[in-house]
A and B are shown apart, each in its own frame.
Chain A
Amino acid sequence: MKSLRKKIDRLKPHFSEGGRFEKLRSVFEGFESFLFVPDTVTSRGAHIRDSIDLKRTMTVVIIALVPAMLFGMWNTGFQHFRSTGVEASFLQMFLFGFIKLLPLIIVTYVTGLGIEFIAAQIRGHEINEGFLVTGLLIPLIVPIDIPLWMLALATAFAVILGKEVFGGTGMNVFNPALLARAFLFFSYPGWMSGDRVWIEGLTEGKNVVDGFSGATPLGLLMQNQTDALPSLKEMFIGTIPGSVGETSTLAILIGAAILIITGIGSWKIMTGVFAGGIVMGLLFNLIGANQYMELPFYYHLVMGGFAFGAVFMATDPVTASQTETGKWIYGFLIGLLSIFIRVINPAYPEGVMLAILLMNAFAPLIDYYVVQANIKRRLKRARVSLNTGAK
């Protein structure tokens, strides 16, 4: 560590003002603050309450994502060996998934960070850690078999048109990771839905066990095959086909615990999403017009990307509501809409993505009305006290 610090200190003058590589200063600073805590501090008028900064926030979210990621790696191997009917050990399955997932993670990071670095250079901004979480989220919400160039294109689309156009980290209206997924979903539907893409190697269909179906629980429900649904326990643990990181509700809940304990993710939003999902599920149970509607409401919470979306996507502090009451409303509506889209619209088996993106657009409006309501309430109180004071 020390030698690295020395090396950086030796290079620093070249990148400072008047140095040879002055133009590349933001790149240099980006690397420096990634490796070490920056040595420049706010010089005046600081309002520090805690030593938390963007870097630490992002690091905590990454740590919270690790359980889901590790489980996703194992599940990738597990599903693959299940589809080919080959016996494999725990380690084999994990390594298989690790090797398959690694290229997705690398491609996402290289594309996204590359664009962020270039954008920061052009603007003369500092490079920040904004992409670290997005870069890990994107590989976790796509099918394992997605072609790498599509992934790179989607990442570029999300970072440029979802984030940089609006002014970079913290200014985006929509969650960039979900934008990347939405881009893939609408651009290459063949790779994002159906019952082949979720398990590695199934699209080519080599060595697949006879009669094996790689359909996700949501896919099965779309075809009204309620009997073929995996058990509740399987879906909770996550040994089902699906996007890499979304299958295990258990691993996601561990991540949720980390986020809530550290105070990084809003528990209000998470609870709101689950509450909304439960209410909509119960409502559909009451109507019960078809098999899908009759599905017990708690099934919805462990299927598809519902839990992942609730914990990691809806809680994105940039695109969510900022006010405390707003967070409840925002979360609740996401849950409500997710299940609504899921059950009602057969064209979109996964409603969570669209529900969150839609509510992203409405988050500022919710905040506006929450703030206005507060102002009104306090004005009223002020008037009442004024009137009584006059008497």
Chain B
Amino acid sequence: MSATEKEPLFSAKNIKLLTGPLGKNNPITVQVLGICSALAVTVKLKPALVMALSVTVVVAVSNVVISALRSHIPDRIRIIVQLVVIATLVIIVDQLLKAYAFDVSKQLSIFVGLIITNCIIMGRLEAFALSNKPWQSFLDGVGNGAGYGIILIVVAFFRELLGSGSIMGYPVIQKLGLYSAGYENNGMMILPPMALILVGLIIWFQRSRDKSLIEKK
């Protein structure tokens, strides 16, 4: 859409695979997939960033792998094969996090493991990777991971700022001196329901800007 590269690898169609999930085809706000983890890991910005990155990596790589194997996977056992690929990747991501970012890994706790069950990943494998070439599948994976991640980051930004008064752990509100002016953190922002309400607000915002997303009655 906005990118102007003339490379055949990034043809207009391929670019669309990348940018579509960021807006009009967003996995969270339009397809309403992967909501559970969006509620669970968005209390603070840092875990949300790591989660977004992990999911993007898993969905992109598993898309490529499944796409490369797509003509060799028997139709009947394709779900099992997909699960093996995803589980392998998730375990690798989990071990990497434990090795290099132990704190965040502890905060994310089981939710890294639960990436396996994230509907977005299986959804993309079934809907896209099984019937497209590896390069397109890769772009589709990155796009969907990023589309998921961007919502996570927006939600986590507001939840951390309003709920804990900080951004990436930096106490913004305190430095601005708002506490002495009578401001207080909003305890409800830390509770899961508020993530749902924030996602709802994002959907509202998106639909009011793009009328084509509104279902016909």
Report which A residues bind B (CB closer than 8 A).
147, 149-150, 161, 165, 183, 186-191
Task: Check A149/B182 contact, CB under 8 A, given A161-B197, A165-B204.
Answer: yes
Q: Could you tell me if B182 and A187 are in contact, using CB atoms closer than 8 angstroms?
A: no
B191 within 8 Å of A by Cβ?
yes
Counting contact residues on chain B (CB < 8 A from A), the size range is: under 10
**Does B182 contact A147, Cβ atoms closer than 8 Å?**
yes
In whole angstroms, what is the CA distance A165 to B184 when docked?
26
Let me know if B204 and A186 touch, CB within 8 A: no
Would you call B191 and A186 a contact (CB within 8 A)? yes
Taking a contact as CB atoms closer than 8 A, the residue among A149, A186, A190 that contacts B188 in the complex is: A186
Bound-complex Cα distance A215 to B104 (A): 41
Residues of chain A within 8 A (CB-CB) of B204 are 165
Whether, in the assembled complex, B171 has its beta carbon less than 8 Å from a beta carbon of chain A, the answer is no
- Nearest B-chain residue to A161, judged by Cβ: B197
Question: When A and B form their complex, which 5 residue pairs have the shortest distance between CB atoms, in order from nearest?
Answer: A187-B188, A186-B188, A187-B186, A187-B187, A189-B187
In the complex, 16 of the A-B residue pairs with CB atoms within 8 angstroms, ordered by the A residue number, are A147-B182, A147-B184, A149-B182, A161-B197, A165-B204, A186-B187, A186-B188, A187-B186, A187-B187, A187-B188, A187-B189, A188-B184, A188-B186, A189-B187, A190-B184, A191-B184
A161 CA / B188 CA spacing, docked (Å): 14
Q: B9-33, CB under 8 A of A: which get 1 and which 0?
A: 0000000000000000000000000
Residues of A within 8 A of B188 (CB): 183, 186-187
15 new A-B contacts, CB < 8 A, other than A147-B182, A161-B197, are A147-B184, A149-B182, A150-B184, A165-B204, A183-B188, A186-B187, A186-B191, A187-B187, A187-B188, A187-B189, A188-B184, A188-B186, A189-B187, A190-B184, A191-B184
The CA-CA distance from A61 to B197 in the complex, in Å, is 31
Q: Report which residue of A149, A161, A186 has the largest number of chain B beta carbons within 10 angstroms of its beta carbon.
A: A186
SS class of chain A's interface: helix, strand, loop or mixed?
A: helix
Using CB atoms, name the residue of chain A closest to B182: A147
Residues of B within 8 A of A149 (CB): 182
- The one of B187, B191, B197 that contacts A188, using a Cβ cutoff of 8 Å: B187
Q: Which residues of A contact B182 (CB under 8 A)?
A: 147, 149
Nearest CB on B from A197, distance (A): 13
Q: Which residues of A contact B189 (CB under 8 A)?
A: 187
Residues of B within 8 A of A161 (CB): 197
A183 to B182, CA, bound (A): 18
From 170 to 217 in chain B, residues with beta carbon under 8 angstroms from any chain A beta carbon are 182, 184, 186-189, 191, 197, 204
Q: How long is the Cα–Cα vector from A149 to B188 in the complex, in angstroms? A: 16
Contacts of B197 in A (CB 8 A): 161
Q: Taking the nearest CB of chain B, how far is it from the CB of A182, in angstroms?
A: 9
* Bound Cα distance A188, B187 (Å): 6
CA distance A147 to B197 in the complex (A): 24
Q: How far is the CB of A252 from chain B (nearest CB, A)?
A: 28
Complex CA–CA separation, A147 to B189 (angstroms): 19
* CB neighbours of B184 from chain A (8 A): 147, 150, 188, 190-191
Chain A proximity of B217: nearest CB distance (Å):
14
The docked-state distance in angstroms from the alpha carbon of A2 to that of B167 is 59
A187 CA to B184 CA, complexed, in Å: 9
**Nearest Cβ distance between residue A258 and chain B, in whole angstroms?**
35
Closest to A182 in B: B188
Residues of B within 8 A of A191 (CB): 184
Distance (whole angstroms) from the CB of B214 to the closest CB of chain A: 14
Closest-CB distance, B155 to chain A (whole angstroms): 16
- How far, in whole Å, are A353 and B175 apart by their CA atoms in the complex? 36
Distance A187 CA – B189 CA, assembled complex (angstroms): 7
A142 CB, min distance to chain B CBs, angstroms: 15
CB distance from B35 to the nearest CB of A (A): 18
Contacts of A189 in B (CB 8 A): 187
Q: Report the Cα distance A188→B186, complex, angstroms.
A: 6
Cα of A188 to Cα of B188 in the assembled complex, Å: 8
Q: How far is the CA of A161 from the CA of B196 in the complex (A)?
A: 12
Closest residue of chain B to A147 (Cβ to Cβ) is B182
Q: Which residue of A lies closest to B193 (CB)?
A: A186
A149–B182 Cα distance when bound, in Å, is: 9
Q: Roughly how many angstroms separate A186 CA and B185 CA in the complex, as a whole number? A: 11
Q: How close is A240's CB to chain B, nearest CB, in angstroms? A: 27
Smallest CB-CB separation from B181: which chain A residue? A149
